[in-house]
Amino acid sequence: MATAPLYETHTFHPTSLREYDIRGIIGETLGEDDAYAIGRGFGTLVLREAEDGNRTVVIGYDGRTSSPALAEALARGLNDSGLDVINIGLGPTPMLYYAEAVIEEAAGGIQITGSHNPANYNGFKMVFQGRPFFGADIQRLGQMAAAGDWEAGMGSVFTRDIMDSYVERLLQGFDASRTDFARIRIGWDAGNGAAGPIVERLVKQLPGEHHCLFTDVDGAFPNHHPDPTEEANLEDLKALVAEKQLDFGVAFDGDGDRIGAIDGEGRVIWGDQLLAIFAEPVLKDVPGATIIADVKASQALYDRVAELGGEPLMWKTGHSLIKSKMKETGSPLAGEMSGHVFFAHDYYGFDDALYAAIRLIRAASDLGKSVTTLRGEMPEMINTPEMRFQVDESRKFAVIDEVLQRLKADGANVNATDGARVNTDDGWWLLRASNTQDVLVARAEAGSEAGLERLMAQIDEQLALSGLERGESVGH
């Protein structure tokens, strides 16, 4: 007998349904009613569209104080649509992806997480039968909720501890008996995020010497913001590596799907530089493979992949978009400047920063060089950080269209994969519209400081022609 729904319809806050996930501020733009509606809608889609007839969804959540209550409301919504729920509890997002991949009866998975956002944010990342659930999928949940287009039924909630199995999978293929591994000395910064308990278990099983920071889960993030792509958040890790004279250090964002890294000299190893390290052993094993990076990555990466005999492919920014392109092209490895690294080579193709950390240890060993040496051998490019400029939501895509039309008329060398990436004799510059915020994103890279200034002047000129000023860069 079907249970009566708690709500007949639901309207989401207009800012919460994003391109890659659902996200908002707790108590202002996101709450338990939203979680329930997501469960009803997602469960309805599973019942109507899951090809294998499975009626189970796996859920997990990060360490934010609001996450357990959202998880309970989400499970209730899934149950009221007629689905069973397997709750794997607190853990990083990649552990949820792993659970969805290996639990046979799972037709999908939902992780409750605010990722790298401030403590008062939270959200939902979803996977449907092994594929990313984003874009039009998310908009459809909003349309279904507004119309009350939900199935009704009854389901149950089961708990399952999958952490040990996940850690075991992270270490699969890691030969701990190799003598060089016994000498490794690594710093780990979990940033009080959901990756902490996994880090604690991993280092107990890894050879060598390991020093950990902030592995206790604390949704207030008392030590530093959990975003390892902001260099300021790596200061504690840099100090640890310097004090203990460690080989290198790794850091994780709030839900463990983005990695940050520094070498033994405290130099940041950015996302595209990590990908260059990972690419070499992967291409030795899979010669000629396609390696994907987003439009913000350095030209040095694309050149390096080609030099190694691989096929470099520039693609749109966004973890869901990259994962979809990997499946389409059969790519074994992909990455973003934001620290998402995707291994389909000996893994599942989803972004897992903990697995990336293990692969960094393995890559240095396979290549017979320290991480510091690998970082030091990279060409020193002069580039800007990612710059973000406020623009009205209604104008951001229109501005990019205007820029592309002007560049085309001028005969510029432009790649329009995701915004405008313009190649010149000095280097390249990028201007694109964010899919998740009312901002334009810019970046430039040159061989000299004078060249970088000329590239920035071109960005300023294009913004001015569309009635905008670069002004001050805004945060994430």
Cβ(472)–Cβ(439) under 8 Å? no
What does the DSSP 8-state code read for residue 101? H
**Which tokens sit at 314?**
């520039």
Pair of tokens at residue 340: 């998402």
Hey, is 314 helix, strand or coil?
Answer: strand
Burial of 368 (0-12, 13-18, 19+ CB in 10 A): exposed
**409 token code pair:** 């008329």
CB atoms within 10 A of CB 180: 13
Nearest 5°: phi and psi at 474? -105, 160
Continuous H helices in 235-352 = 235-244, 271-285, 299-307, 319-329
- Tokens 């008329």, residue located: 409
Ramachandran angles phi, psi of 208, nearest 5°: 90, -165
Active site residues: 115
98 vs 169: CA distance, rounded Å: 9
Alpha helices in 353-448 (DSSP H): 353-367, 371-376, 396-410
Question: What residues contact 379, with CB distance under 8 A and at least 6 apart?
Answer: 300
DSSP class of 138: H
